[in-house]
Structure 1
Amino acid sequence: MNTIVSYIKYHKIKSAIILVLLIAYYFCLPKELFKAPTATVITSNNNELLGALIANDGQWRFPHNDSIPEKFKTCILQFEDEYFYYHWGFNPVSIFKALRDNLNSKTVKRGGSTITQQVIRLSRKGRSRTYFEKLKELILATRLEFRTSKNNILSYYSSNAPFGGNVVGLDAASWRYFNRDAHHLSWAESATLAILPNAPSLIYPGKNQEILLKKRNRLLKKLVQDQIIDSLTYTLSVEEPLPETPYPLPKIAPHLLHKIAKTQNGNHIKTTIDISLQKQVNYLVKSHYNTLKQNEIYNCAVLVLNVHTRQVLAYVGNTPTDKAHQKDVDIIDKPRSTGSILKPFLFAAMLDAGDILPNTLVADVPTQFGSYNPENFNKSYDGAVPASKALSRSLNIPAVRMLQEFGIDRFYQYLKTLKLKDLKYNTNHYGLSLILGGAESNLWDLCKSYASLSSTLNHYNETSSEYFTREFCEPTFLASETIKFGKKTIEKTLFDAASIYLTFESLKEVNRPENDDNWEFFDNSKQIAWKTGTSFGFRDAWAIGTTKDYVVGVWVGNADGEGRPGLIGVQTAAPILFDVFDLLPHSPWFSQPFDEMHQAEICKQSGYRASANCDDTQQAFVQLSGLKTPPCPYHKLIHLDQTEQFQVNSSCEAYSNIKTKSWFILPPVMAYYYKTKNPFYKSLPKFRDDCIDYNTASMEFIYPEEHNSVFLPKDFNGKTNELILKIAHSKPETEVFWYLDNLYLGTTKTIHEFAIVPEKGTHIITVVDALGNETKRRIDILK
C-alpha cells in the first residue's frame, strides 16, 4: 500500500493519466447497449406466442430474451466462438490467424471476432469496419466481460444478431423461418440459425440454398465429430430441408395485441389468455361468421373471464371479415346500445331494496309514459306476470313499469357503482328507455359486472358469510397482475348475496336457442345464468352468461351500426354463447346463501307475502329485505250465496246463509289480458238481482292509450277504417254509455267495445257506466 502511495506521490502526472484512463475505461460502455425499437410481443399464460407487431423501424426484432435454448447455444459456440468461456472478450489466437490470412489474401477473408466483440459491433451499428474500430470493439468487449456474465453476453447476441432480411434476433428468426418457438427447434434448425448471422445478406432462406446447406451440414458434421450429437441424429438432421419463404407470425389474438401495444409498445407481455381456448373460440367465431354474413351481419366479439381470478381467458375482438366491414375494429371496448342486457341489474336492485319478491306479480298491460310507448317484443300482453318470469322472458313493459316504480335516479346509482363507463349522461337524457337500450355500454364492462355478481356470491358462500370491499374491480389480461379483492366485511358491496342468487335462479330459466330447447331434461346439461339483448332497429345482439367459474359475453352486429332483420340476441348471439360454454369445464350451480335468506309464507298466485286472505300458500326462501314487502293485495274476502254463483250481502241474505270466500281479483285491465293467458282465472260473480251492491265498480281504457295519435287508413273502396274503442270493467255486465266530444254514441254490455269513425283532429272520448262512474281519454286522429 505504501509503495502505491509513494508511486503516486512521485509520479503524479502518470498517476493522473492512469486514473483518467481507468475512469474512461469504466464509463466507456453505455448502460444500455441496444436502443433500437423492438416488436410488441404477446404470449399466452403458458408462454406460447399469440402474436407480434413489427418494430417501429420495420424490423422483426423481438424484445431482449435472457433464455437461450441449449441446442442453439451449442451450435453458435461451435460455429462462432469455441473458446467463449475461456477468454476475456477477445481471442489473440483468432485475431492473429485472421490478420495473417487477410494480409496474405489482401482481402478480408476471415474474421477473428469473438461473440463478445460481435455484441459490441452490433450495438455500434453503422460504424466502418476499420482496424481502429476493431481496436475500440476489443476494448469495449473486455469492459463488457467485466460488467456482466457470459450467459448475458450470449443473450445479447442471440437477441440482436441479424438473421437475414428484416429479421433480427433468434426469437423472431425461429418464428419467421420455422414457425415455432426457439426452444422447440431441432438440431438442424438450430444449426441453420447459428450460421445465418455470419453472413445474413449472402445466406438467406429461400436464396443461395446450396451455400446455406453446405454451411449447415458442415456445422452438423463438427457436432457429431465432437460427440455432441450421435450419428443417427446427424444422419436425420442433414436430411431435414432448409426453410423457404418466411412464415407469417401467429395472429391468434390480434385485437388484444393492438390493445396492449397502445400502452406497452415494444415490450414482451405475458397474458392470461388460454391459447387452446382462444384458438377454439376463434374457430367458433369464424364458423358463425360464415353463416351470419349470409344475412349481411359481419361483426362479432367474444370475451371469456375466469370469475375467481378475474382473468381474461379468451379475447376475440372481431370476426375474420374484410377491411370494408372493419375487421380491425376491436368491438369489445366499443359502446353499443344495451338492449335488454341491463334488466338483471334492475331485478337484483329491486330484490336488494326489498321492493319485490322473486315472483311478485307485475303488470304487463298496454302502457304509455307521456310520449314513450314501450312494447313487448312479441306485441302481446300477459296482464300480470311474476317478476322472475318477466325477467327470464325479457318482457319490456314489466321492466319499464318496474323501473318507474323503483326510480330512474335510484337505479342509475346502482349502474354507476358497477362502473359502466359509457353511461356519460344524466338520467333525464335516458329516461325510462334506460332499461330497454336507451343507454350504451360495452362488452368488457358488462362481462365485468356479471363476473362481479358471480364472484360476490362465491365469496359470500366461501367465507363466513362475508363480502369483499373491491368486488367490482377491473378484469385483467396481464399475467403479471393479480386481482386484489380488498378486505372482508359484513357489509354488502352493492347487491346482497341472496338478491344475486335469486336473480341467477331466474336467469337460469331463460329460454335457450331452438337447438337447446330440451336442455333441462339432460342430467349433464350445464346450468347457466344468462341474458340476451336486442337493441332498437336490430343493430346489436347480446348474450352474456355466467356460471360459478366463468363468464362468457357475446356481441353480434355490424360495426357501422347497420341494422339487419333477424339480428336478435337469442338467434345470433346465444348460439355462440352456448358453443363457447361447451368448450369450458363443467361448473356446479351456485350455493344458496342461506344466511342472507329467510323462509316466508308466499301466496302462490300473486308471489307476494301471504296475507290472511290467501288460501293457497307455500314456504319459500326469500331475501331478508323481502320481509318488508307488503302482503298480497289481490286476495279479498267476498260474500256468496249457498250456490256460490252470486255475491250477496245483508241486504238480501241472512248472515247464516252467507258463505265467505277468498277471491283472487286483479284490476280490470290486468284481468282483461291475464285471463286470455290464464283460462282458470275466475272473474268475480255478479251480485244477485235482489241485492244492493255497495261496492264501487271501476273501469279502465284498454284502447286507445292516453294522448295517442291514431292513423285511420282507407280500404280499396276509399272507405275510412273504423277505430275500435275498448274498456275493461270490473263488472262486465254493467251497462256502459259512450260519448264522443259530449255527443252520445250508444251503449255496450258485457263486451265493452265500440266502433267509431271520428273526423281528423283532437277528440275526447267519455265513458259513463250505469252506476255513475266516468272515465275519459283524449286522442288525435290522423287521416
Structure 2
Amino acid sequence: MIDKIKLEKYPKLVKLINWVKTNRIKSIIGLVLLMVYYFSLPRTLFEEPFSTVIESNEGDLLAAKIARDGQWRFPEQDSIPDKFKQCLIYFEDEHFNYHFGFNPVAMVKAIKQNRSAGKVVRGGSTITQQVVRLSRKNKKRTYFEKVIEIILATRLEFRHSKERILELYAAHAPFGGNVVGLEMAAWRYFGVQPHQLSWAESATLAVLPNAPRLIYPGKNQLQLLKKRNGLLKKLMDNEIIDTMTYDLALREPLPQRPYLLPQIAPHLLEKVALEHEGQKIKTTVNVSLQNRINQIVRQYHSQYSQNEVHNMAVLMIDVKNRNIISYVGNSPTDLMHDKDVDIITAPRSTGSVLKPLLFASMLDEGEILPNTLVADIPTQISGYAPQNFNLTFDGAVPAQRALSRSLNIPAVLMLQEHGVHKFYETLQQFKLKNINKHPDHYGLSLILGGAESNLWDLCRTYANLTSTLNYHIKTFGKYRENEFSELNYQNGFEQDFGDETSEKQILGAGSIYLTYNAMKEVNRPETDEAWRFYDSSMEIAWKTGTSFGNRDAWAIGTNSDYVVGIWVGNASGEGRPELTGIDSAAPVLFDVFNLLPRKRWFKTPSYDLQTAECCALSGHLAQDNCPKVEQLIPKNGKKTKVCPYHQLIHLDPSEQFRVNSTCENVDSMVTKSWFVLPPVMEWYYKNLHIDYKPLPPFRNDCQGAQQTSMGFIYPKGNSKIYLTKNFEGKIQPVVLKVAHSNRDYKLFWYIDREFKGTTQTFHEMPVVVNTGKHLITVVDEKGNEIKQYVEIVND
C-alpha cells in the first residue's frame, strides 16, 4: 500500500512500468539493444605500446625510446596546450563543443560535395569520430563503417569529457612517418615541448593529421603552407588571434628537417625502460648538472681515448633523500667500444674502495683506534703475498694513514685480524649484491679487489653512511631504522626511513666520522704532490681504487650533501698501464664536485665518541710508560689493547748501554720508557723515521742479558715457497731474508743444520734446495738464534 502511494507521486514512472508490463518483448529487445550500446565501446580504446620517456626534475625531456611497434608515440598527456586545441577545433570540427559525437549537417554537406566531385573531397567526421576511427586502426571507409563510427562516437561522448577526447586525439593522431601524437610531433618538427609551440607551429601540426604526407622535408611545402595559412586566417577571422599575431605567424617558416630527440641521459632511459616500459617518468635528475657533467665526461673521454681508455661513468646522489641527481652511464664513445653498456650497474673489480668500510667496521668493533700502528712488512699468508702499490714497506704505519695512502699490506693484515667472514657479512648488510660468493672464495683478496661490485651499490652505501652521520648529529644521538635505503630516480617518491631509534643499524656515527676524517687525506704515497694540485678548501671524504691489471679506476667522494662516484676504464675489461684511480678517476671526481656548492665539514658526533688517552707513538690506548695524547675514539674503543710497544729499560749513567743488577749498581741505573718495535717492523720503520732509536745493546760485563734482535722477513713460518724457473728452464734459488737490529752483526745461515753461508749488513741469502719441508736456522755472532720451518714446492 505504501509503495503504491509513493509511486503515485511519479505518474510517468508508473506509466513506464505499465508499458513494460504490457510490452514485454519490446522491452527485452530495448534492454538488449541498450546493453549492446553500452558495451559496444571497448574499455581500453588504444592498445598500442608507448615510447618510454624520461624527464628531468624540472620537466625537461632527458631522453626517449621508440615504442615496441617502431612508432614514436609518447604516453598520453593529461592536458593539451590551448593554442593547439583552438587550431585543432577550428580546422577539424568547429562545432566540437556543441554536438554529441557527430554532426549531421556536416555529414550531409560532405556527402553532397563528394557525390558532385565523384571522389572524396570533404570529410564530415567530427574529432570524436576520428578518435573512434584511430582506435579501430583506420578501417576502410564505407557507409556501414561510418554508421558504426557514429554509434561509437556517441558512446564515447557518454564516457569521456570533451577535454579527454581531445587528449586522446592529440596522443594518437598520425603526424607523418612514424611520428604519432602531438608531443612527439612538437619535438620532431620543432624541437620544443607542445606548450612552447607558437601559433604558426600549432597550426602546422593541427593540419597534419588530415594529410600527414605533407610534412616530408622538401616536398609538398606549398600545399602545407596553404593549409596552415588558411587555418591562421580562420583563427584571425574568429578573433582567436589578433592581426599582428596573424602577420607574424605567416612569416614563420615551415619545418625543414626533423630534429633529433634529446639524449641527455640515455643509460638512465634504458634502466627506466626495464622497469617502466611505455611510461613517461619524471626523474630526480637535475638537467643543468646532467648537461655539465656530460660535458666533463666528453672532455675526459677525448683525452683518455688517446691512451685507449674508452669508457667512463658518473653517478651523483643527494644524500638527504637518496635521489639520483645525475646519471652518466657511459662516455660518448662508439659501438666498437661498448657505448651502450651501462657501467653504473655493471659489476667491476672493487680495487681499494672497500678499505674504508673495513676501517670503519674495525673502529666500530673496538678492534683498532684511528692511529693504531699496523704492520707494513713483507707478508705471506698461505701462499698469498700482497704488495703495496709502490712495492715499498713502512714497517709500521697508523691505521688511518694506511687508509689514506691505500696501503695494501696493512689492509690485508687488518682484514686477517677482523676476519673475512665477519667483513663479508657486513658487506651483505650493505647489500653489495655482486659480492655473492662464499667468503672463502675471496679470502684476504676481498679487500684488494678480489670481489666485484658496481657504482650504484657503492654510491648507495656511502650515501647511507653519510646520512647516518648527518641524522645522528642533527638529532643529538639518534638513528633511523631504515636509514640504509635504496637509491631513487622517480620524482615525488618519498623515502620511508622508519622510526627513530637509539640503536645503530650497521655502523655507528662515531666510526663513520673518524673514517671520513681519514678519507679527507686520501692519496697514494708516490703522488703526494698531486694533492697540492687539488683545491684544499674542498673538504670531501674520498677514496680511489685501482683493480689488478689496471682494468678499473675508481673514485668515490662524499660531503654532507652529496655522494659522487666515478669509474674509468674499458667495458671490455682491457687494462691500460696508466689507468689508476688517482690519475684517471680522481680528476673527474674533483671536477664534478666543483659544480656543487662548498659545504662545511661534518660536525663531531659527540654522542658516539669519547675522549681517551692514547699513546702518541703507537696509537693504542696508553699504558703508564707511554707518552700520552688525548684523542676521540669510538665508544667501543676502550676494548682495544693497551700499547704493547713501550717498555721500561735500565741504562748505565752514560745512557749508552743497557744494564742489569749483575753489572751495575741499582742506585746508579737510569730507568727510561723506550719505544720498541718487533725486529722486522723495526727494520723498515727506522729507515723512514730518523727519530726512532733502537734499543741500546747490553754492556759487555752484564750477565744473563737476553734480547730479541732478529726476525724473518721471508719466508714466514710454515709457509710454502714455490720454485720458479728462468727463461732457460733452470730452477732459480730461493732468497731468504732476515732483519737484525744491528746491521753490523754477522749472521750465519743453516738449512737442516747444514751451513750455507754468512751475511753482514744486508741479510739476504740465496739458496738452492730440494722440494720438501726444511728447517731454516739463523745465528748471529752473539749466539742469538731464530728458526723457521718452510715447505719447498716445485710449481
State the alpha-carbon separation in 1 of the partners of residues 269 and 128 from structure 2: 34
User: 1:301-316 maps to which residues of 2 (within 5 A)?
Assistant: 301-316=313-328
User: C-alpha deviations, 1:236-257, integer Å up to 9, x for none?
Assistant: 2211111122222221111111
Pairing partner for 2:684 from 631, 649, 673: 673
Do the aligned residues in 1 keep the contact of 2:739 with 2:763 (CA within 8 Å)?
A: no
Could you tell me which residue of structure 2 aligns to residue 708 of structure 1? 721
Q: What code does the residue aligned with 1:426 have?
A: H
Cα distance, 1:184–1:514 mapped onto 2, change above 3 Å: farther
Instruction: Confirm whether residue 526 of structure 1 aligns to residue 544 of structure 2.
Output: no
User: C-alpha deviations, 1:57-80, integer Å up to 9, x for none?
Assistant: 111111111220111111111211
Do the aligned residues in 2 keep the contact of 1:704 with 1:779 (CA within 8 Å)?
A: no
Task: Give the match's secondary structure for 2:200.
Answer: helix
State the alpha-carbon separation in 2 of the partners of residues 741 and 71 from structure 1: 98
| Displacement of 1:555 | 1.2
Could you tell me which residue of structure 2 aligns to residue 727 of structure 1? 738
Bigger mean CA deviation after superposition, 10-19 or 508-517:
508-517
Instruction: Confirm whether residue 442 of structure 1 aligns to residue 454 of structure 2.
Output: yes
Instruction: Confirm whether residue 544 of structure 1 aligns to residue 579 of structure 2.
Output: no
User: 1:630-649 maps to which residues of 2 (within 5 A)?
Assistant: 630-649=641-660
Pairing partner for 2:333 from 321, 329, 334: 321
User: C-alpha deviations, 1:741-781, integer Å up to 9, x for none?
Assistant: 423245456x3525555467666532123344332354759
State the alpha-carbon separation in 2 of the partners of residues 47 and 714 from structure 1: 65
Could you tell me which residue of structure 2 aligns to residue 179 of structure 1? 191
Cα distance, 1:723–1:144 mapped onto 2, change above 3 Å: closer
Q: Percent identity?
A: 56
| Displacement of 1:531 | 0.7
Could you tell me which residue of structure 2 aligns to residue 358 of structure 1? 370
Cα distance, 1:93–1:167 mapped onto 2, change above 3 Å: same
State the alpha-carbon separation in 1 of the partners of residues 443 and 341 from structure 2: 30
| Displacement of 1:421 | 0.7
State the alpha-carbon separation in 2 of the partners of residues 613 and 775 from structure 1: 32
Could you tell me which residue of structure 1 aligns to residue 706 of structure 2? 695
State the alpha-carbon separation in 1 of the partners of residues 672 and 468 from structure 2: 45
State the alpha-carbon separation in 1 of the partners of residues 386 and 771 from structure 2: 24
State the alpha-carbon separation in 2 of the partners of residues 49 and 528 from structure 1: 32
Cα distance, 1:719–1:564 mapped onto 2, change above 3 Å: closer
Instruction: Confirm whether residue 573 of structure 1 aligns to residue 616 of structure 2.
Output: no
| Displacement of 1:463 | 1.8
| Displacement of 1:698 | 4.1
Instruction: Confirm whether residue 736 of structure 1 aligns to residue 747 of structure 2.
Output: yes
Tell me the TM-score normalised to structure 2 length: 0.94
User: 1:747-762 maps to which residues of 2 (within 5 A)?
Assistant: 747=758, 751=761, 753=763, 755-756=765-766, 758=768
Bigger mean CA deviation after superposition, 391-400 or 702-711:
702-711
Instruction: Confirm whether residue 600 of structure 1 aligns to residue 596 of structure 2.
Output: no
Q: What code does the residue aligned with 1:671 have?
A: E
| CA RMSD in angstroms, aligned pairs only | 2.3
| Displacement of 1:503 | 0.5
Instruction: Confirm whether residue 2 of structure 1 aligns to residue 6 of structure 2.
Output: no
| Displacement of 1:724 | 5.9
Bigger mean CA deviation after superposition, 765-774 or 354-363:
765-774
Cα distance, 1:720–1:147 mapped onto 2, change above 3 Å: closer
Do the aligned residues in 2 keep the contact of 1:667 with 1:730 (CA within 8 Å)?
A: no
Q: What code does the residue aligned with 1:493 have?
A: Q
Do the aligned residues in 1 keep the contact of 2:777 with 2:785 (CA within 8 Å)?
A: no
Do the aligned residues in 2 keep the contact of 1:344 with 1:391 (CA within 8 Å)?
A: yes
Could you tell me which residue of structure 2 aligns to residue 136 of structure 1? 148
| Displacement of 1:354 | 0.2
Q: What code does the residue aligned with 1:661 have?
A: K
Could you tell me which residue of structure 2 aligns to residue 394 of structure 1? 406
User: 1:161-310 maps to which residues of 2 (within 5 A)?
Assistant: 161-310=173-322
Q: What code does the residue aligned with 2:21 have?
A: K
Task: Extract unaligned runs of 5+ from structure 1.
Answer: none
Could you tell me which residue of structure 2 aligns to residue 488 of structure 1? 500
Task: Give the match's secondary structure for 2:738.
Answer: strand
How many residues are matched? Answer: 777
Could you tell me which residue of structure 1 aligns to residue 53 of structure 2? 41
Do the aligned residues in 1 keep the contact of 2:552 with 2:579 (CA within 8 Å)?
A: yes
Instruction: Confirm whether residue 682 of structure 1 aligns to residue 696 of structure 2.
Output: no
Q: What code does the residue aligned with 1:365 have?
A: I
State the alpha-carbon separation in 1 of the partners of residues 619 and 59 from structure 2: 53
State the alpha-carbon separation in 2 of the partners of residues 117 and 515 from structure 1: 74
Q: What code does the residue aligned with 1:517 have?
A: W
State the alpha-carbon separation in 2 of the partners of residues 538 and 719 from structure 1: 31
Pairing partner for 2:120 from 108, 113, 116: 108
| Displacement of 1:317 | 1.2
State the alpha-carbon separation in 2 of the partners of residues 68 and 139 from structure 1: 26
| Displacement of 1:190 | 0.8
State the alpha-carbon separation in 2 of the partners of residues 196 and 70 from structure 1: 17
User: 1:505-524 maps to which residues of 2 (within 5 A)?
Assistant: 505-511=517-523, 517-518=531-532, 522=536
Cα distance, 1:622–1:11 mapped onto 2, change above 3 Å: same
Task: Give the match's secondary structure for 1:661.
Answer: strand
Task: Give the match's secondary structure for 1:224.
Answer: helix
Cα distance, 1:687–1:470 mapped onto 2, change above 3 Å: same
Do the aligned residues in 1 keep the contact of 2:698 with 2:705 (CA within 8 Å)?
A: no
| Displacement of 1:96 | 2.5
State the alpha-carbon separation in 1 of the partners of residues 450 and 480 from structure 2: 32
State the alpha-carbon separation in 2 of the partners of residues 162 and 729 from structure 1: 87
| Displacement of 1:721 | 9.3
Could you tell me which residue of structure 2 aligns to residue 16 of structure 1? 28
| Displacement of 1:263 | 2.5
User: C-alpha deviations, 1:511-566, integer Å up to 9, x for none?
Assistant: 388896226875xx221111111111111111111111111111111112111111
State the alpha-carbon separation in 2 of the partners of residues 137 and 719 from structure 1: 92
Instruction: Confirm whether residue 626 of structure 1 aligns to residue 637 of structure 2.
Output: yes
User: 1:315-464 maps to which residues of 2 (within 5 A)?
Assistant: 315-464=327-476
| Displacement of 1:782 | 8.3
Could you tell me which residue of structure 1 aligns to residue 103 of structure 2? 91
Do the aligned residues in 2 keep the contact of 1:700 with 1:775 (CA within 8 Å)?
A: no
Task: Extract unaligned runs of 5+ from structure 2.
Answer: 1-12
Do the aligned residues in 2 keep the contact of 1:202 with 1:208 (CA within 8 Å)?
A: yes
Cα distance, 1:252–1:515 mapped onto 2, change above 3 Å: farther
Task: Give the match's secondary structure for 2:213.
Answer: coil
Do the aligned residues in 1 keep the contact of 2:720 with 2:793 (CA within 8 Å)?
A: no
User: C-alpha deviations, 1:374-408, integer Å up to 9, x for none?
Assistant: 00000000000000000010000000000001111
Q: What code does the residue aligned with 2:132 have?
A: I
Tell me the TM-score normalised to structure 1 length: 0.95
| Displacement of 1:484 | 1.1
Instruction: Confirm whether residue 477 of structure 1 aligns to residue 489 of structure 2.
Output: yes
User: C-alpha deviations, 1:724-754, integer Å up to 9, x for none?
Assistant: 64322346566533224423245456x3525
Pairing partner for 2:168 from 146, 156, 180: 156
Task: Give the match's secondary structure for 1:305.
Answer: strand
| Displacement of 1:25 | 1.7
Cα distance, 1:102–1:433 mapped onto 2, change above 3 Å: same
Do the aligned residues in 1 keep the contact of 2:733 with 2:766 (CA within 8 Å)?
A: yes
Task: Give the match's secondary structure for 2:57.
Answer: coil
Cα distance, 1:754–1:131 mapped onto 2, change above 3 Å: closer
Do the aligned residues in 1 keep the contact of 2:724 with 2:731 (CA within 8 Å)?
A: no
Bigger mean CA deviation after superposition, 726-735 or 247-256:
726-735
Task: Give the match's secondary structure for 2:779.
Answer: strand
Task: Give the match's secondary structure for 2:58.
Answer: coil
Cα distance, 1:575–1:560 mapped onto 2, change above 3 Å: same
State the alpha-carbon separation in 2 of the partners of residues 364 and 443 from structure 1: 30
Do the aligned residues in 2 keep the contact of 1:544 with 1:552 (CA within 8 Å)?
A: yes
State the alpha-carbon separation in 2 of the partners of residues 761 and 650 from structure 1: 49
State the alpha-carbon separation in 2 of the partners of residues 646 and 423 from structure 1: 55
| Displacement of 1:227 | 2.6
Q: What code does the residue aligned with 1:640 have?
A: L
